[in-house]
Each structure stands twice: as structure tokens, then as C-alpha cells.
Amino acid sequence: MTTQSSIARPIEVAPRPSGVFAARFLAMGCPCEVLVAGADEALAARHARPAAEEAWRIEAKFSRYREDSVVAAINAGAGMAVAIDGETARLIEYAAQCFDLSGGLFDITSGVLRRAWKFDGSDRVPTPAQIEPLLAHIGFPRLVRSADAIAVPEGMQVDLGGLAKEYAVDRALAILDEARPDLPVLVNFGGDLRANRPPAHAPWQVGVEDARSLPEPWMVVELTKGALATSGDAHRFLLKDGVRYGHVLDPRTGWPVAGAPRSVTVAASTCIEAGTLSTIALLRGAGAEEFLAGFSARSWCLR
Amino acid sequence: MQLIETGRQRQLSLAVLGLLGAAGAPVRAADDPLPTQFDSGLLYYQEGDSRVKDLEAVINVRQPLAADRAWSGRILLDSVCGGSPNGAIPSHNQQTFATPSSTSLTPTTAVVQTTTSASGGGGGGGSISLCNNPVVGGVYTVAPGQLPIDQSFHDQRIAVSGGYETALASDTKLGLGAAYSHEFDFASTSLNASIAQDFDAHNTTLSLGVNVEGDDVHAVGGTPVPWSQYNLFEKGGSQRKRVHDLLLGLTQVMNRRWLAQWNVSLERASGYLNDPYKIVTEVDAQGNDAAGAYVYENRPGTRNRTVFYWDNKVDLDYAVAQLSWRHQTDSWHIRSDTLDLHLRVPLGEAGYIEPHWRGYRQSAADFFHFFLFQGSPASGFASADPRLAAFTGRTVGLKYGLPMGKSGEFSVRVERYVQHGSSPANVPVGLQGLDLLPDLRASIVQAGLRFEF
């Protein structure tokens, strides 16, 4: 079911403060790195590799951009049931829980809105006439699911991109921690990250960036173990008649959520949990803080 | 309200458990053996004007024994031929020289060893050789205006070394090593030890290293007596040389993108420091050389050298830059500076390219003389070895690395080296029109393969 690139992909190792080495690579369309403490450069590179391979595996399996991915096969079903493996079924079941938790805001079928919304910084805001027909193709409950198959109605699309990255972080960390529980590592895939344990001398120092005022972080979080995920709309928006349309779209209306924070950072024990909470909080717009207050995770909203 | 919220947290926790808990990490052996790393390379070096050709093969092996212990080994095989300048300057006349193994300038003399060539020739039977040895009868001639080079030179070198490194504490590392190198006319044995201590949460590393080396020089045809006339063949037995090194290093993480390193090393070499094959031309007051008027060089018996080295690695996101400066002074009054810049640019799945530029300059040793005047007292020190002259060098190169398999890499490096020296400003009439220190051009091609299993 999975496909693996036959060409070995590069991993670059760069030194970081406090005797840490960062193994860097590209996966899922973003820069990824695995920080390894208490190891020399060669050991860091070797230790980090299974994490990169896991990221590439998940990318190949769940990318909607790849014709040979599981997601592409599901979306090509055109209403027919497509058999899925256990891992895919678990991710979709998790998406169902997210849909439920968010009151329909977190919806893996909302990707079709991209046909109307192109967040390129221009003023091309779509008209209601462009958006209205798309809403007929959105709605997680319209997916027909069983334990080992899924049918996506014609015209609808499933996109697991919003979950795959955080899921990959948790998977990669589990693999590294099982191989060498004694080696402190921090897995960071495109800003969503998780650490197994702190380096010998001090906690991990994680800068939370405010994309509008690069390059200095607006906050530094000390992380001993656990996950941090950040969601935001800083980069992607449309601007028309002085109104800013952020890229956080409400799948129920097809229009951007009002009052969304610039970014939401959540600390939780797993990356998928942190990522889910930060994404839903962003979708809650003005109600982000109120939503987060209902969970035990620590969070920071930047407005 | 609170009940509902608690319910949400529980729902999320259960969902996470369903996703991650069921999909535990794949089964792996608890004690995956640490892979052995191999790093091999093949280097070909060729100087212009068919001077030196050098083919070198090297294999490095590193075997971790545990996370904090490893041993390493290295074997190097080297085949050189073509020879370097023998120290004599070009002449307006044809010059005739004997290879070091000869005992006379006259090929018809009974004792000429006709089949043995230069240093190392005796060891070469049946082995791989690049050399198309043009020297017959132990004598070679050099055309007018040409820099005298002993084309018969050819040698094979084998060098082996081993090391062991271990952590004494979480912040302290100890390294021990030994090396042996053998050529036909030269053998070298060395022992080294180093200790590195981390401070400030591994942001700072102080290191101290010592190296002791003992060399035996068995010059082909015997070790010439310094200052002796070239055609008298006054030669003695083997000679010895000792080298002691002390190295003090500081490595500092400057910020998350910049790693800096400073080293100071003090080296003391003593014993036989001459090159047994190097001679100095003697000319008369008008600069005319007489056939066979050469003396063997004589260098001081000690050389104290101080080297300062500053290396920077900077992560530029699109590339990693490495910029270093090396400054050396020694008791022979040679001062040299090297600036070296590497820029490694990743090309995604296609690997990386690494442009390289190096600039080098040195001043001459205080006893360096292109030539000597006849009748000047044969005392003090003198050498005409071009390596002790003042010159500048430029290297420009490009390396391409292609990832192979999980952690392997294949790389190709091509470099061009140009060395430029200057002839003395004022020379006697008889030497005018001669290029006493011709430019040197060399090409280097290297292929490397790194893998582990």
C-alpha cells in the first residue's frame, strides 16, 4: 500500500547550541528537523534517520498531491467504497472525533473550498455564487465509513494533511524513543514538535515565532517533554476594501472565521492533541481562548 | 458546564489514544548493533609538465562499541612518481644529475645500479605504478632553461593508524591513537593522546592533545653529508628525526547558526630535518654555473613551529559555509597564511554541491637561497628547496555529493591548484632570462564513497 522513494533523500546535520545536533530534511512540504542531544554528529545523523523515513512514509501515504497515495485512491473512488488499511482507518476515525469536538469546524472534507479561495495576498475574494455550490460537497458525515473501507461521494474530497504532520511527529518520536530511550530528542516537523526527554543540562528551548515580526521569536518555551503545536494565518490571507480575509475557513459557511487569533500555540503530551486543539481554537475565531479553557493543555493565543 | 468540558477533554484523550496507542512504534530489536562506518576515497593528483603524479587510496573504518566508545582505523596506500625539483636552478646549459641511488654521474662506472631508480624504486616490483620511468643508467639530463626535476622518483607509501575514543565522564572524552607510515626510504611512528572537556552545557569544549613522532630516514644511496660536493658522493647511514606536538583547542557555539573553533599548536621537530635529495647550485660571481657544481643542502637541526587556526561553520539555511584561517610561524622564519572557504549547497534529492576556494601565501625560510656563490664559506644553513621559498597558491574546486542508500554518499571532487613564486629581483648576468621558480599547476580529482552497515 505504501510507496517509498527509491532515491535516498538527503539529511543535513547542523550544530546547535548546547551540544545539540539538528538533522534536517524536507518532508510534507515543510522543513523538518530532529534535534539530538548527548550524541556526536555521526550518531545524531544515524539516530535521526528513522524519523525522516517515517515522515517520508507518511507523506507518501497521505499526501493528496501524490497520485499514488492512499488519499488519492480514496478521492478517486467517486462514490465507490475503497478498502483502507488500519492506519488510514484510525486517522479517519480520529478526524471524526475532531469533527465532533469542534462542532463541525474541523472537517477533512473542507478542502474543496480551495477551489474558490486562493490565498495569494491578492484581493480576489470569491463571490457567494462561487462558494455556495461548493458547500454541497462538504460535510464529514456524508462520508460512508466502515472499519476497513470508505466511500467518498462524487465531488467530495478528503484531505488528511491537517493531521498527518502532527501524527508523523508522534510516530517518529515513538520510533526514536523506542530505539534509544536514553537519547534526548526533539522531533520538529514544520513547527509542530515533541520531545521525549530534556537534554542533560537544561530543558529544550523552543522559540515560538510570530510570523509578522520575523526572525525573533515572540516567546521562548522551555520544554522538558511533550509536544507543542502552533496554528496561525499570518502568511495566508486576502485583502479587499480594507478587509482582511484570513485563510481559516468555516466549512459550514465557506467564509473565513471572524476574529481568529494570529496564532495559537498549544502544549500537550502528544503532538496530535496539541495540533488538534490549536487548529480548532483557531477555527473558533473570537472564541479561541474560551474553547481552550475547557482543556487541560496549556495554550497561548497571539492576537 | 464544567462537566461538558471535562467530557471534551476525555473525548480528545480517547481519540488520541485510539490513533497513537493502537499504532505503537514498529517492533525493533532493543539493542540494534551500532553500524560500522566506512569511508573510502581514491585521489589522483597530477602536476603540470609531468612532474608529480600521485594516486592515493584510503579507507577509514569507525566501529562504535557503545554510545560513548569507538575505535577507528585507517589504511592509506599511495603511489607517487615524477619527482619534485632537486633544488638546482635552471641553467643556460644542459645539466646532468645522478639519481640518488647512483654513485656516480658517469653511467659507465662499474658500480652504477642500472635498474634501480631513485627513492623507492627498489620496492616497486610488481606493484601498481603510474610511472613511466624515463631514467636510464641512474643519470638524467635537464635541458637548458628547464627546472631540474628528478623524473626517476617513484615511491609507494603505506600508512596505517588506529584510534580509540571513550567518554571518561558525561563531559569528558579521551582519545588515544597510534600511527605507522612506511616508504622505501622513510618510516614514521607516532603516538597521540587527547582529552576534551565540555563546559556550559556542551556549548564550550576545551581540548588538549599531544603527539610524539619518531622518523627514520634511509635515504636511497645513503644520507648525503650536508655541504658536501654533489659529485663527491659523501654519504652516510640512516638518520633520525623526532617531532613533538602540543595542541590546545577551544570550540564554542556562538549562536544557533555559528560554531567557531580556535586551535593553537606548538610543534618541535629535531634531528635530521634535511631533504637528502635536495642540492643547491653554486655559481661564480657572474652567475655562470660549472658542470656538477652543486652542494647538498643543510638545514638547522631543530624547527619550532607555532600554528594558530580559526575555523567557523555557519548555517546559512540555503547552505553551510565553512571559513577558516591558518597562520603559521616557525623558527626558520617561514610565515604562512591560509584562507579556506567551503560552501555546501544542498540540492534536495540530488545531493549537494560544494564550491571550494583556498588562498595560501608563505615567506621564505631565512636560509633559503636560489643559488650560492662558489667560494663562499661552506657553513651555516642553506637550502634551495622550492617548498621553503616565498610563494602564493590558489586552489579552486568543486565537489558534488550524491546520497546513496540510507546513510551512504558518493562524491566527486575536482580541484585546480596554481602556485606562483617570484624569482629574485637581482640576479647575476649569467642567470638572467631564467625562471628560477616556475609556476606550478596541479589538478586533483577525487572520488569518495561512504557507507555504513
The whole-number mean pLDDT for each consecutive block of 10 residues of chain B, a chain of 453 residues, reads: 60 84 44 75 84 89 83 93 84 82 45 31 39 62 84 84 90 93 93 90 86 92 86 83 95 82 95 92 85 87 96 85 95 96 87 94 94 79 94 96 82 95 84 88 93 80
Task: Give the CATH number of the domain where residue B170 resides.
Answer: 2.40.160.40
Spatial CB neighbours of B110, under 8 Å, sequence gap ≥ 6: none
Instruction: Name every chain B residue with its beta carbon within 8 A of the beta carbon of A170.
Output: 20
* Cβ–Cβ below 8 Å for B5 and A179: no
The one-letter code for the residue type at A146 is S
Chain A residue numbers with beta carbons less than 8 Å from the beta carbon of B9 are 294-296
Contact A17 B256 (CB under 8 A): yes
Among the ranges A22-36, A207-221, B367-381, which has the highest mean pLDDT value? A22-36
Q: Residue B44 is placed in which grid cell?
A: 589522483
pLDDT, position A235: 59
Contacts of B61 (CB under 8 A, 6+ apart): B36, B37, B38, B39, B72, B73, B74
Domain that holds residue B387: 32-452
Task: Return the DSSP state at A212.
Answer: G
Q: Domain locations in chain A? A: 75-157+231-302
Q: Quick one: closest CA in A to B10, which residue?
A: A295
Residue B211, beta-bridge partner list? B192, B245
Which single residue is written with the C-alpha cell 634535511?
Answer: B274
Between positions 146 and 185 of A, the ones with CB within 8 A of B are: 167, 170-171, 174-175, 177-180, 182-183
Whether B425 maps to a domain, the answer reads yes
Q: State yes or no: cis peptide before A215, omega within 30 of 0.
A: yes
For testing contact with chain A, the best of B10, B17, B202 (most A CBs within 10 A): B202
Q: What is the dihedral of CA A57, A58, A61, A67, to 10 degrees?
A: -90
Res B101: pLDDT: 66
A269 burial class (0-12, 13-18, 19+ CB within 10 angstroms)?
middle
> For the residues A88-99, what does the mean pLDDT come to?
93
- Judge whether B381 lies within some domain: yes
Domain presence at residue B330: yes
Point out the least confidently predicted range of A224-233, A290-299, B195-204, B435-444: B195-204
In a domain, B121, yes or no: yes
Contacting residues of B for A16, CB less than 8 Å apart:
253, 256
In a domain, B390, yes or no: yes
A272 touching B (Cβ < 8 Å): yes
Instruction: Count up the domains in chain B and report the number.
Output: 1
Q: If you average pLDDT over each of A107-111, A114-118, B289-293, which comes out highest? A: A107-111
Whole-number pLDDT of residue B11: 83
Say if domain A75-157+231-302 classifies as CATH 3.40.50.300: no
Residue B285 lies in a domain: yes
Q: Name the residue in chain A with its Cα closest to that of B199.
A: A18
- Most B CBs within 10 Å: which of A13, A87, A273, A292, as the mutation test of the B interface? A273
User: C-alpha angle A92/A96/A98, rounded to 5°?
Assistant: 110
What CA–CA distance (Å, rounded) separates B439 from B433? Answer: 15
User: Hey, are the CB atoms on B201 and A296 less than 8 Å from each other?
Assistant: no
Q: What is the mean pLDDT of residues A97-102?
A: 92
CB contact under 8 A, B13 and A273: yes
**Is residue B251 included in any domain, yes or no?**
yes
Question: Which of B362, B366, B316 lies closest to B341 in space, CA to CA?
Answer: B316
Of B19, B25, B348, the CB nearest to A10: B348
How many CB atoms neighbour CB B43 within 10 A? 17
Contact A17 B9 (CB under 8 A): no
Q: How many CB pairs under 8 A join A and B?
A: 131
The closest CB to that of B407, out of A38, A46, A179, belongs to A46
Cβ contacts of residue A63 below 8 Å, gap of 6+? A28, A69, A71, A72, A161, A164
CB within 8 Å: A8 and B404: yes
Among chain B residues, CA nearest to A172 = B25
Q: Which residues of A touch B28 (CB under 8 A)?
A: 175, 178-179
Give the closest-approach CA distance of A93 to chain B in angstroms. Answer: 8
| CB distance A251 to A107 below 8 Å | yes
Has residue A237 got a pLDDT over 80?
Answer: no
Structure-model confidence comparison of residues B20 and A138, the more confident one? A138
The reply to whether A220 touches chain B by the CB within 8 Å rule is no
Question: By CA distance, what is B2's nearest residue in A?
Answer: A294
Stretch A79-98: mean pLDDT: 91
Q: What is the pTM of this model?
A: 0.61
Name chain A contacts of B21, Cβ cutoff 8 Å. none
Q: Which of B12, B199, B257 has the most A C-beta neighbours within 10 Å, making it the best mutation to test the interface with A?
A: B12
What pLDDT, on a 0 to 100 scale, did the predictor assign at position B123? 34
Residue B398 domain-assigned? yes
Amino acid in position B234: E
Asked if A100's CB is within 8 angstroms of B20's CB, the reply is no
pLDDT reported for residue B30: 39
Q: Can you tell me the distance from the alpha carbon of B106 to that of B138, in angstroms, rounded to the nearest whole number?
A: 9
